[in-house]
Structure 1
Amino acid sequence: MRRRTFLGMSSGLGIVATGMVSTPAVAGGRRPDAIVATDGSGDHSGIQAAVDAAPAAAGVPYVIGVRPGTYLGQVVIPATKPNLELRGLGRRPDQVVIADDRANGTPKPGGGTWGTSGSASVTVDGAGFKATNLTFANLFDEAAHPEITGRQAVAVLTRADRLVFEKVRFLANQDTLYVNSSAAGVIARVYLRDCYVEGDVDFIFGRATAVFDRCRIHSLDRGSTPNGYVTAPSTDITNPHGLLFHRCRFTSDAPAGTVFLGRPWHPSQDPNAIGQTVIRESWIGAHIPEVAWTAFGTWPWEEARFAEYRNFGPGAIVSDNRPQLTAEQAASTTVEAFLSGSDGWNPARC
């Protein structure tokens, strides 16, 4: 049975151990407008109740402070609730856990199954959403449910624009973080800084423009070969910006050479989903093989937009099978270039 480990510490379901630097209880920003606490000492005892009570169409941020505890149940941030912030009030991200435990193939009440999108513990459709200093998890137990073959179990699904995650952990196995948009060809930007993402198969995927800045990307050892795939981008051909990893660390306890950096996902065999993953100035562990990218079904990786630039570490091999950006290309493949859009958005300055 697979167990999640974090910085050498067994964390069971991954909701206790953390390697992040402690953060003040109310670090940065305005005071919370509402408090969630499991013991009833706040304004709400559940996350969804706090979201439901937040003002609609808010033009300024509305901060929901979450006291330490584990909050179970699906959470949906609707499009009618923009500019919400979930702020963990513990000293570390592991002290506030927001989680659910359903998978793609989990039966729904009334018939059918949840599907990949429906499995998400947290779904974000509200633009301008921010999360800081907490953990999102999907606790679906694959070993306990051998009868469920659809094991995609999403911790967070995003479909909105101008989202920020800072000092946040994302925990699951297959399909942990689904960065998507409301429709093909629609731009949805996500900025993640100092975050931790773990999983095994396609655990960072979708068509959004998502920048991972100084994050740790951890591949679980699922005891097979291949051991998994880090990314599965489905970037629309009209979008020049897909997934960017800047100064990140790619780690794993899996054997050397058993995990691929990515494969190109074409949802419903969409030929216009020309996925992009760019990894630059990042440390890559030995779990990544010399041929770091692979096909997804009949779709060859060579036709996707995969590239690296000035990576280092035992898995950062420069060869004909590892496309590299030129210095000129790298100059325009930056955090700011990916996120700025037509409105000049630059959350990295904050």
Structure 2
Amino acid sequence: MKKILFYCSIVLLLNSSVIKASNFRSAYDIIVAQDGSGNYKTVQEAINAVPDFRKVVTTIFIKNGIYKEKLNLSASKQLVKMIGENVEKTILTFDDWAQRKNNFGEEKGTSGSASFYIYGPQFSAENITFQNTAGPVGQAVALFVAGDKAKFVNCRMLGFQDTLYTYGYASRQYYYKCYIEGTVDFIFGSSTAVFEECEIFCKNAGYITASSSPDTSKYGYVFLNSKVLGNAPANSFYLGRPWRPFAKSVFINCDLGKIIKAEGWDNWGKETNEKTAFYAEYNNTGAGANPKARVAWSHQLNEKTIKEYTLDQIFNGWNPKE
């Protein structure tokens, strides 16, 4: 009788483990694991397996590991959702930089330096680190986001110059509780992007944003309830400078560290940019919040104008929290 009970318990344990594994697998469409325990060992294989123009969300779970791959999610791969096992241990990385030569002996350029290209619409990511490990060698993009309605939650973007490239004026992007670090122009591009409750970490000295918003775009970059800090020297960082004349960046209810220069904003050496760029702040705190010392051509929002900065208005009806 004892032997029968023993064998029954073993069977029950085995069945339980099978059920748990089955439930784990059923929670995701695709699992990536370097040890072979998933559907694929590489992230690009998983991306390639997503049916083109699929009309429902495809979830890709990525187990912990350092995945050194130059990744591309094409425009036909829509509604892809990537979930990392742990934000600090699930790392998608590469080490290209702008001056690095391709197979034809040509420089790759800023756009060619990206570790991960996202063109597919309605992409989302959670608990993932996006990294470029080229170091302080000039432009080296960790994440290139061009698809519309892109959403990142609890992710990290690590690099130096040009860490995050928000590409394309038609792209709307939402970053929530993300960590983004860099030196010169490390958040740049023409997209409309909101950074809510994010941590912006400034290294060495430089500029946080380099918006290239077109004149038809109203919002550009909006930082909400975020923290701006870093290991850079005090008074060494600008909030932004205009990559293109109609650049737009706004910081609202943010905690600005002592690294921020009193003048706040730079015109990129062109006084004409002062007439077209829109740089503004509202209710910021911290040692770097100094509205009276800001350049005269920047703006301070008031109780009336701040009402224009809701997610619904910024994203023209798209609700990234749904």
TM-score normalised by the chain length of structure 2: 0.88
Whole-Å separation in 2 of the counterparts to 1:300 and 1:310: 28
For the residue of structure 1 that corresponds to 2:274, the secondary structure is: helix
Of 44, 51, 58, the match for 1:62: 58
Identity %: 35
Whole-Å separation in 2 of the counterparts to 1:103 and 1:299: 31
Q: Which residue of 1 aligns with 2:121?
A: 127
Please state if 1:332 is matched with 2:308. Answer: yes
Deviation at 1:301, TM superposition (A): 5.2
* Counterpart residue type for residue 45 of structure 2: A
Please state if 1:190 is matched with 2:191. Answer: no
Of 236, 239, 256, the match for 1:261: 239
For the residue of structure 2 that corresponds to 1:331, the secondary structure is: helix
Deviation at 1:300, TM superposition (A): 5.2
Correspondence list, 1:167-186, <5 A? 167-181=154-168, 186=169
Deviation at 1:252, TM superposition (A): 1.3
Whole-Å separation in 2 of the counterparts to 1:133 and 1:71: 14
Deviation at 1:298, TM superposition (A): 2.6
Q: Which residue of 1 aligns with 2:191?
A: 208
Please state if 1:140 is matched with 2:127. Answer: no
Gaps of at least 5 residues in structure 2 are 1-25
For the residue of structure 1 that corresponds to 2:107, the secondary structure is: coil
Structure 2 vs 1, CA of residues 299 and 32 (structure 1 numbering), >3 Å: closer, same or farther?
Answer: farther
* Counterpart residue type for residue 332 of structure 1: E
For the residue of structure 2 that corresponds to 1:236, the secondary structure is: coil
For the residue of structure 1 that corresponds to 2:312, the secondary structure is: helix
Q: Which residue of 2 aligns with 1:23?
A: none
Whole-Å separation in 2 of the counterparts to 1:67 and 1:160: 24
Deviation at 1:302, TM superposition (A): 2.4
Whole-Å separation in 1 of the counterparts to 2:271 and 2:171: 24
* Residues 129-153 of structure 1, C-alpha deviations (whole Å, 9 max, x = no match): 00100100000033xxxxx6xx200
Deviation at 1:299, TM superposition (A): 5.4
Of 227, 249, 274, the match for 1:302: 274
Contact 2:88–2:129, Cα closer than 8 Å, also in 1: yes
Correspondence list, 1:231-246, <5 A? 231-246=209-224
Which structure is larger by alpha-carbon Rg, 1 or 2? Answer: 2
Whole-Å separation in 1 of the counterparts to 2:221 and 2:174: 10
Q: Give RMSD over aligned pairs.
A: 1.4
Contact 1:102–1:140, Cα closer than 8 Å, also in 2: yes
Give aligned pairs, total. Answer: 293
Correspondence list, 1:9-88, <5 A? 31-88=27-84
Moved over 3 A (4+): none
Gaps of at least 5 residues in structure 1 are 1-29, 143-147, 222-226, 267-272
Whole-Å separation in 2 of the counterparts to 1:191 and 1:338: 11
Contact 2:246–2:273, Cα closer than 8 Å, also in 1: no
Contact 1:244–1:335, Cα closer than 8 Å, also in 2: no
Of 237, 248, 254, the match for 1:282: 254
Of 212, 216, 227, the match for 1:249: 227
Q: Which residue of 1 aligns with 2:20?
A: none
Q: Which residue of 1 aligns with 2:16?
A: none
Contact 2:135–2:160, Cα closer than 8 Å, also in 1: no
Greater helix percent: which structure? 2
